[in-house]
Structure 1
Amino acid sequence: MCGITGIFDTRGTRDIDRAVLQRMNDAQFHRGPDEGSVHVEPGLGLGHRRLSIIDIATGQQPLFNEDGSVVVVFNGEIYNYQQLIPELQAAGHTFRTKSDTEVIVHAWEQWGEACVERFRGMFAFALWDRGRQTLFLARDRLGVKPLYYALLDDGRLLFGSELKSLLAHGGLKRDLDPLAVEEYFALGYVAEPRTIFRQARKLPPAHTLAIRRGAPLPEPREYWDVRFTLDNPIALDEACAELQHRLQESVRLRMISEVPLGAFLSGGVDSSAVVATMAGLSAEPVNTCSIAFDDPKYNESEFAQKVASRYRTNHRVETVKSDDFDLIDTLATLYDEPYADSSAIPTYRVCQLARKHVTVALSGDGGDENFAGYRRYRLHLMEERLRSALPLSVRQPVFGLLGRVYPKADWAPRVLRAKTTFEGMARTSVEAYFHSVSLLRGPMRAQLFSPAFKALLGSYDARQVFERHAARAGTDDPLALVQYLDLKTYLVGDINTKVDRASMAHSLEVREPLMDHPLVEWLATLPNHLKVRGHEGKVLLKKAMEPLLPHDVLYRPKMGFAVPLERWFRGPLKQRVKDAVLGERLAATGWFDHKYLEHLVHAHHSGVRDYSAPLWSLLMFDAFLRQVVDAEAPTLDARRAPAEALA
């Protein structure tokens, strides 16, 4: 795992300032503390920070082809590199290393832009072909690894694994994009391809960007998408056997490492399935780690221990105190953008724990999206059955009125919390799903934002992110559609972002066997009854794991990785929330309605309403403004890169 960065003159061969490039590279020191190098030639500079995992002795980057005309910097893993090397050698390519990085260089020479279609893994890389005068940027299919870029006014293109490397250049304008702010308060993150800064972009998952010197900056090109056909006639028993085989293959590929390797073990179905599969493939006990909480409401450690005991893993557990809220400023600097998933706190802690014992950890991320595990999927299917019974012309006025007048009853039993259901019934399927997953729903954002900010937004609504993806989904099946939307939005913008930054903050590589793209493609062919039956999700995964995992691990209610925000904001963080939300920094933007901010604070503090989610989003936005926008060159911590030889 590594960090990459660079500067490319799209107009000519102006000199690259080596000191500036080095500063950009050092801003990502945490991503690769083992080694760091830069390469500079006319009009091009490439930087790389290395966390040594495979081919430790000879896998240094930037890495060149035989004649030095092609060079790459790469973050991630190409898991099928051992299969590609003989094929490329047979085609006449000579390998000087045993690294997956060198496969990229020769694959580019052999297959050009189509090389990414041959890679199985998580990756973001930048490749320069001097003969073609082309810079080629690429990102993996499911967006596990990040890649940011920005075209400056002078024609120089900056890119990097994290926004902080672009900010370290000094030429990136820190003007915020109002549309990104709207997305943040709707979703809790800024959705691809936008970033919080107007001038910068994220390269979307499964996209490449080929930039030829002297030509205009093109639009990214998509090279892969998942298609939910749901037409596989396979029986349940046969599907279980097939899944076990595919999972074993995916896990086996991700266990290739020259450094200590382990796994996260939360006690949930996904991570437990990964650990059970690892145990079946390993002659040695698997290293596992878990976070326990001193608040029983959030603690899953007993279930993790059951799995650890069954497979005799080397299990480490650390307890996170229920008042572990000292990471707010750290998180703001970590993510470079406003980011409002509070589970970033325990994720940071479990990565911190894992790094004490291993350099690579396998995770269960992607299981909920691919196996249909979220409770919201089952609620959406229930609403869809109701929506299909009445035309929108009837539903919209009737349920729209009920949604407006019915009180929001956070305190009531779930069956009585009908306001959200009424609001969903008044919408189209895509609008309803967006509404259900929104951090601050449309009516709340309408009250949150000032008239001046609404004028900046014009007609833009974050719902358009979902509508754009839905138009390309290729399915109108209710379950498949929302799975597709989550694969394009929540998995990338929230889950993968959270895990990448939290793990890289501790120089830990996290691998994701449940996001293996052949597995994802196969699961998309399966009919819905193998995913959801009644009130049960992940039907196939649970059935396939029954011989390998305890029944109460597989079939207990899903808990999640949460923190007690509601209590924090009425207790130890009460004053901090008030100072941030009602303070000068947010007021100075002119973007928020102060009376509504006062309502959020006072209603929550008094116990009348639970506004912990919107308050957390505002708290993190304030921290972002303070730690990133107001900072000259944000860095993760006080560590500095040692003096190293420059390539």
Structure 2
Amino acid sequence: MCGLAGIIGTGDKSKVQRMLDKIRHRGPDESGIFADENITLGHNRLTIIDLYHGRQPIKNEDGRYWLIYNGEIYNYQLLRKELKNHIFSTDTDSEVIIHLYEELSKNCVNYIDGMFALVIYDSKKKTIFIARDPLGIKPLYYGKTKEGYFAFASEIKALQEVTDDINEFPNGYIYTTENGFEKYYSIPQDPMYFADVDNIINGLRLRLEDSVRKRLIADVPVGVFLSGGLDSSLIAAIAAKYKKPLHSFAVGVEGSNDLKNARVVADYVGTIHHEFIYTEEDIKKVLPEVIYHLESCDPALVRSAVATYFVSKLASNYVKVVLSGEGADELFGGYHYLKNYSNPWKLQSELKYITRNLHNTNLQRVDRMTMAHSIEGRVPFLDVEVLRYAFKITPSFKINGREKIEKWILRKLAENYLPESIVWRRKEKFAIGTGTSEILNKIAESEISDAEYIKNRFLSNGFEIKSKEEMYYFKILKRFFNVDSFIKDMGRSRSLNDNQIYA
């Protein structure tokens, strides 16, 4: 995992260096800059594959093409075998990308299986190619500087070093000098699969196991986040089949449900388990740093980000890569409010909507909190083949029966891997299971009066702050950023009601 920064139109290394300094946490192992009169490309590297080679920006054999890239390509070894006409100087996935681009130009993205934000510069034609992965697992922002240059960076904090024109590079899109933005990926809607339950479960099992196996590939230690909920527990159980020893990590306040259930799962699947118990004082201490890294004041994100911050810090003492359970709730109907959908087709549309917007919600939280501690987060549920298969499953298998059991089909799969108490455990958001949300809500209530909230709930640009908790986080966010430049485009969770209380 890495951090990108650059400016198109100038060879100003000093500005790009300032941008890189802001996101040093994304890649503390190596740093590099390439510049000519037309462009400056900067990169901070976190070494995961080929630890001793592959410093970026990286060039092709004759130096015509230059690449900076953030992410992991899981099929890079297969792609490399097909690139027979190229001389490789590293064993990295990044070098595979640049040679693939030489062969296929912008169509290279259709052959890449992974998560990525990448920039390729053609020094002969003076053109640029930029791409972001299908779901936006890896972040990328862009904007125009006051001089009219096109700037980009992995995080808002880096981009605001050179401009307040903040735009998110859309997921599933490419950008070229010739054609501007072009969409290359949409969530597929294949005909729904109405086969019997056993066949559906087997198809899901094959795809999810393949996804987890791919995400265990690394030249550094790999572990799993383990909340004791269905999603992370299933990922941990599958990973434990293929990697031993496997480290697992859990956090929460003393006596929280997540800590208790994570111990059950760790013992059942045989991981080396680690946990950290935090207090209200710990939460208060890290909250500004959490919001700084998160770049959001959305209450749902901040609540879960605090716990993710602590578990990422814990994991960083043992591993450099972690697998997480994000995406299962969106693909399989895990949120309680989804039970209100009586029409299965409207439920399917809502699942697609929240999946398309994961880049602004849970994926943003996981990326920022893991990167804050210089570790890489991987999300097996969001493999494109798992996603395609999930949206072929009829919605009645996701929220099922008179009791409307959420993620029913995933629970049936999990029966093959986990104890019954975990499989049929009631859904709890990460912030609730860890005991974090109650504490944060109490802190916000003590910091923001009713009068202050009523007076300041509407910003000058029309943005409405929906709760005292959100206002508290907003005030912290303003310490670090020109918030007006991006708050209207900031992701906000659909799994909260209007009062920001968990449904």
Q: Which residue of 1 aligns with 2:192?
A: 231
Q: Which residue of 2 aligns with 1:415?
A: none
Q: Which residue of 1 aligns with 2:264?
A: 306
Deviations 1:385-427 (A, max 9, x none): xxxxxxxxxxxxxxxxxxxxxxxxxxxxxxxxxxxxxxxxxxx
In the alignment, residue 81 of structure 1 is paired with which amino acid?
Y
SS in 2 for 1:345: helix
TM-superposed CA distance for 1:271, in Å, is 0.7
Residue in structure 2 matching 1:357, options 313, 318, 323 = 318
Mapped partners of 1:620, 1:74: distance in 2: 32
Mapped partners of 1:546, 1:630: distance in 2: 46
With over 3 angstroms needed to count, the CA separation of the structure-2 counterparts of 1:565 and 1:270, relative to structure 1, is closer
Deviations 1:39-82 (A, max 9, x none): 11111100000110001111211110000000110000001101
Mapped partners of 1:125, 1:134: distance in 2: 14
Residue in structure 2 matching 1:272, options 210, 225, 233 = 233
Q: Which residue of 1 aligns with 2:214?
A: 253
Q: Which residue of 2 aligns with 1:200?
A: 166
Q: Is residue 2:408 matched to residue 1:539?
A: yes
In the alignment, residue 127 of structure 2 is paired with which amino acid?
T
Deviations 1:344-400 (A, max 9, x none): 11111111111111110000110111122222221223xx4xxxxxxxxxxxxxxxx
Residue in structure 1 matching 2:290, options 324, 327, 331 = 331
Q: Which residue of 2 aligns with 1:558?
A: 427
With over 3 angstroms needed to count, the CA separation of the structure-2 counterparts of 1:375 and 1:259, relative to structure 1, is same
With over 3 angstroms needed to count, the CA separation of the structure-2 counterparts of 1:224 and 1:587, relative to structure 1, is closer
TM-superposed CA distance for 1:18, in Å, is 1.6
Q: Is residue 2:82 matched to residue 1:124?
A: no
Q: Which residue of 1 aligns with 2:482?
A: 629
In the alignment, residue 447 of structure 2 is paired with which amino acid?
R
TM-superposed CA distance for 1:25, in Å, is 1.1
Mapped partners of 1:124, 1:580: distance in 2: 44
Q: Which residue of 2 aligns with 1:482?
A: 350
Q: Which residue of 2 aligns with 1:578?
A: 449
In the alignment, residue 289 of structure 1 is paired with which amino acid?
F
Mapped partners of 2:353, 2:222: distance in 1: 32
CA contact 2:280–2:439 (8 Å) conserved in 1: no
Mapped partners of 1:514, 1:588: distance in 2: 37
Mapped partners of 2:192, 2:445: distance in 1: 53
With over 3 angstroms needed to count, the CA separation of the structure-2 counterparts of 1:18 and 1:583, relative to structure 1, is farther
Residue in structure 1 matching 2:369, options 502, 514, 517 = 502
Residue in structure 2 matching 1:530, options 397, 402, 408 = 397
Q: Is residue 2:21 matched to residue 1:32?
A: no
Q: Is residue 2:33 matched to residue 1:162?
A: no
Q: Which residue of 2 aligns with 1:606?
A: none
Mapped partners of 2:212, 2:291: distance in 1: 33
SS in 2 for 1:326: helix
Q: Is residue 2:78 matched to residue 1:112?
A: no
TM-superposed CA distance for 1:221, in Å, is 1.2
In the alignment, residue 258 of structure 2 is paired with which amino acid?
E
Question: Which structure: larger Rg?
Answer: 1
TM-superposed CA distance for 1:155, in Å, is 2.5
Mapped partners of 2:367, 2:64: distance in 1: 31
Structure-2-length-normalised TM-score: 0.89
With over 3 angstroms needed to count, the CA separation of the structure-2 counterparts of 1:45 and 1:573, relative to structure 1, is same
TM-superposed CA distance for 1:574, in Å, is 4.5
CA contact 2:445–2:468 (8 Å) conserved in 1: no
TM-superposed CA distance for 1:577, in Å, is 2.4
SS in 2 for 1:258: coil
TM-superposed CA distance for 1:230, in Å, is 4.5
Structure-1-length-normalised TM-score: 0.70
Mapped partners of 1:614, 1:97: distance in 2: 51
Mapped partners of 1:74, 1:229: distance in 2: 31
SS in 2 for 1:477: helix
Q: Which residue of 1 aligns with 2:48?
A: 53
Residue in structure 2 matching 1:23, options 18, 23, 30 = 18
Residue in structure 2 matching 1:71, options 66, 73, 85 = 66
Q: Which residue of 1 aligns with 2:487?
A: none
Q: Which residue of 1 aligns with 2:494?
A: none
Aligned length: 476
Q: Is residue 2:338 matched to residue 1:377?
A: yes
Mapped partners of 1:591, 1:106: distance in 2: 46
Q: Is residue 2:287 matched to residue 1:321?
A: no
With over 3 angstroms needed to count, the CA separation of the structure-2 counterparts of 1:589 and 1:533, relative to structure 1, is closer
CA contact 1:230–1:528 (8 Å) conserved in 2: no
Listed as ranges, the gaps of 5+ residues in structure 1 are 10-14, 174-198, 213-217, 385-475, 598-612, 632-647
With over 3 angstroms needed to count, the CA separation of the structure-2 counterparts of 1:8 and 1:529, relative to structure 1, is same
With over 3 angstroms needed to count, the CA separation of the structure-2 counterparts of 1:113 and 1:551, relative to structure 1, is same
In the alignment, residue 285 of structure 2 is paired with which amino acid?
D
CA contact 2:38–2:126 (8 Å) conserved in 1: no
Mapped partners of 1:55, 1:520: distance in 2: 29
SS in 1 for 2:71: strand
SS in 2 for 1:364: coil
CA contact 1:34–1:49 (8 Å) conserved in 2: yes
Q: Which residue of 2 aligns with 1:209?
A: 175
Residue in structure 2 matching 1:516, options 375, 383, 388 = 383
- How high is the sequence identity, in percent, across the aligned residues? 33
CA contact 2:444–2:468 (8 Å) conserved in 1: no
Listed as ranges, the gaps of 5+ residues in structure 2 are 485-503
CA contact 2:58–2:68 (8 Å) conserved in 1: yes
In the alignment, residue 251 of structure 2 is paired with which amino acid?
I
Structure with greater contact order relative to length (CA < 8 Å, sep ≥ 6): 1
SS in 2 for 1:504: helix
Mapped partners of 1:311, 1:67: distance in 2: 50
CA contact 1:365–1:512 (8 Å) conserved in 2: yes
TM-superposed CA distance for 1:527, in Å, is 1.7
